[in-house]
Amino acid sequence: MLFLPALVIWLLVRKFDVTFVLGATLALGMGAVMFAKPEAATLVTLFVMYANLSVVAIYYHDVPQPLAASFFMLFGIPLSSYLVIQRQMLLTNRALFWMLVYLAAMIASAIFSRDPAQSVERVLGFFLEGIVLYFLILNTVRTPALLRKATWTIIAAGVFMGSLSLYQSATGDYTNSFGGMAQISNGMVNAEEAGGEADGRHRLCGPLGEQNRYAQVMVVLLPLAVSLAWTERSRKMRLLAALACMPILSAVLLTYSRGAFVSIVVAIAVMMYLHRTTIVPFLIVISVFGLLVTVTMPEYVYRITSMSGVSALAAGEEKDADSSMRGRATENLAAINIFLDHPLLGAGPGQAKIYITAYGNEVGFKKLDGPRRAHSMYLEELADTGLIGFAAFMAIALGTVQQLARIRRYWAQRRTDFGLVATGFLLAIVAYLCSATFLHLSYQRYFWLLLAMAGAAIEILRPPVGELEAIHEEKIFPTAKKRPTD
């Protein structure tokens, strides 16, 4: 039985490059597995997407863009299985409705802008990486078991990326980017001022090529890993989930991102609030975390303390803020003024960056040159799409958070594991939204992927309609009762 396939492979190797043949054989084998087990296609696609493998393949390995992007079509395998073979219904939800409203607002904003052609890329990007991606994940992650596997998959991608970053830092070998999977920033942390080595420290970027973005997509994995550490049934899997936090958190710290640090603190605070824990454990956790960072990474402490420049800028003491902070403040002030000049529909999707330099040089703290984007997702959305687009955009995220909070409260007294799953996604979204205060919406597929998985969790964990309506009018974060022991 094995003779014929082996003969075919041998003949192909003689005619073609051995790497090409092995790669094609592996791809065919994976394809056969995916058709036999459609959920495997969902998991493979999620891993490839979260690890940014297709983009790395394009820019580091000269893979044609259409070919690299075609992995997205793998979602069609499980979708066809659900709809055609199992004859299940298509799923939609409230968030998807608001995404369509947001798309309409973007189109209207583009039409009434000065240059509609400038907005085509942004609108098309949201349609493909937002609406289409959300719809596919919502309709292919349909069971608690698959939701758990999907969560493990993106955490595995984070562990893979974080382990490479951790290796770079431990060995000091920054010349090896592991084929584009472990990139570093051109800028360095001024370690000498922090009492460290005079030559400074590299800021690691993973496969994304930008340190703050890398921190953002990694930090949201921490609440999900913690939720798995609490909900997995076997002790081995709980331990594995806890250990997964180490390379992920290390990668976040090695980016030296100030926004990511704030996101971690806020996520911990919200977690303590949700569980009605006293302030003492919160202070202990923050103190231990801060002491660990201070001892091992004094440069990061220097980065965190430099955030005092925000209050200095507010007080008019520009000299006490670093250049990066002055530049971001200038760009954000410019975005505010663009919004005030275009309050309803904004300047047009993706068009605020055209005007930020001119606006910023009139009112800001630093001279700008070239196209700039606001350093806040919220301010950029206001500048780009105005109040109408911003309201629809926020309805997507905040509506998801609200539903997760209600579902969390419902299951907290009935099935603790379901409640903790909802809590994990809620905290992950909170962490992203917090980091987005300091970053515009770039690499948007990560944002919509997170919201899509949260949307799938809502559909999977949704209580019976009558019982959900019974808690509809209750407070989202009421005083929690003691959870029953398993």
Q: How confident is the model over 334-349, as a mean pLDDT?
A: 93
Return mean pLDDT, the chain: 82
- Give CA–CA dist 128/6, Å, rounded: 40
What integer is the mean pLDDT of 104-123? 94
Could you tell me the pLDDT band of residue 279, with boundaries at 50, 70 and 90?
low
Per-residue pLDDT, averaged over 82-88, amounts to 87
Least confident of 84-98, 267-281, 343-357: 267-281
Q: Mean pLDDT, to the nearest integer, of 381-387?
A: 96
Residue 429: pLDDT band by 50, 70, 90 thresholds? very high
Is 35 strand, coil or helix? helix
Mean pLDDT of the 261-281 span: 81
| Average pLDDT value for residue range 63-89 | 84
C-alpha–C-alpha distance, residues 132 and 50, integer Å = 16
| DSSP conformation letters of 73-111 | GGGHHHHHIIIIIS-PPP---HHHHHHHHHHHHHHHHHH
Spatial contact of 185 and 204, defined as CB atoms under 8 Å apart: yes
- Distance CA(236)–CA(238), nearest Å, equals 5
For the chain, helix, strand, coil in percent to 5 are: 70, 5, 25
**pTM (two decimals):** 0.86
Question: What average pLDDT does the segment 177-196 reach?
Answer: 73
Per-residue pLDDT band for 165 (boundaries 50, 70, 90) equals very high
pLDDT in tens, 438-448: 998 989 999 99
| pLDDT in the model for residue 29 | 56
Q: Which of 46-60, 146-160, 272-286, 392-406 has the lowest mean pLDDT?
A: 272-286
Is pLDDT at 99 greater than 60 in this prediction?
A: yes
Matching residue, tokens 């930008």: 210
The band of 371, judged by pLDDT with boundaries at 50, 70 and 90, is: confident
User: Can you point out the beta strands (E) in 351-468?
Assistant: none
Half-sphere exposure (CA, 13 Å, Cβ side) for 127?
Answer: 12
What is the rounded CA–CA span in Å between residue 124 and residue 3?
49
Q: Tell which residue, 478, 389, 486, has the closest CA to residue 106.
A: 389
Whose CA is closest to 412, among 461, 356, 350, 361? 461
Residue at token pair 């180490």: 246
What pLDDT score does 316 carry?
55
Describe the crossing of helices 258-274 and 416-435 by its angle, rounded to 10 degrees. Answer: 150
| CA pair distance 158, 251, nearest whole angstrom | 9
Mean pLDDT of 416-429: 94
Of 60-69, 276-285, 357-366, 401-410, least confident by mean pLDDT is: 276-285
Determine which of 124-133, 194-203, 444-453 has the lowest per-residue pLDDT on average: 194-203
Question: Which residue did the predictor score with more confidence, 317 or 186?
Answer: 186
pLDDT band at 195 (very low <50, low <70, confident <90, very high): very low
pLDDT of residue 412 exceeding 60, the answer is yes
pLDDT at 273 over 90: no
Provide the pLDDT confidence category of residue 48 given band limits of 50, 70 and 90. Answer: very high
Q: What pLDDT is recorded for position 2? A: 45
pLDDT above 50 for 107:
yes
Average pLDDT over residues 316-324: 61
Q: Does the pLDDT at position 238 exceed 90?
A: yes
Q: What's the whole-number mean pLDDT along residues 22-33?
A: 55
pLDDT at 198: 43
pLDDT at residue number 292: 73
d(CA 292, CA 284): 12
CB distance 218 to 208 below 8 Å:
no
Q: What is the mean pLDDT of residues 303-322?
A: 60
Residue 114 has pLDDT above 60, yes or no: yes
In the predicted model, is pLDDT for residue 274 greater than 70?
yes
pLDDT at site 85: 84
Euclidean distance between CA atoms 265 and 353, whole angstroms: 31
Residue 170 to residue 210: CA distance in whole angstroms: 20
Other beta carbons within 10 angstroms of residue 230's beta carbon come to 16
Angle of CA points 74, 80, 86, to nearest 5°: 140
Res. 237: pLDDT tops 60: yes
Higher pLDDT, 197 or 153: 153
What is 142-193 written as a DSSP string?
A: -SHHHHHHHHHHHHHHHHHHHHHHHHHHHH---S--TTTTSEEEEEEE-TTT
Residue 453, Cβ density class (10 Å: 0-12 exposed, 13-18 middle, ≥19 buried): buried
| Pairwise CA distance, residues 460 & 140, whole Å | 12
The per-residue pLDDT for 189 is 74
For residue 47, the model assigns a pLDDT of: 95
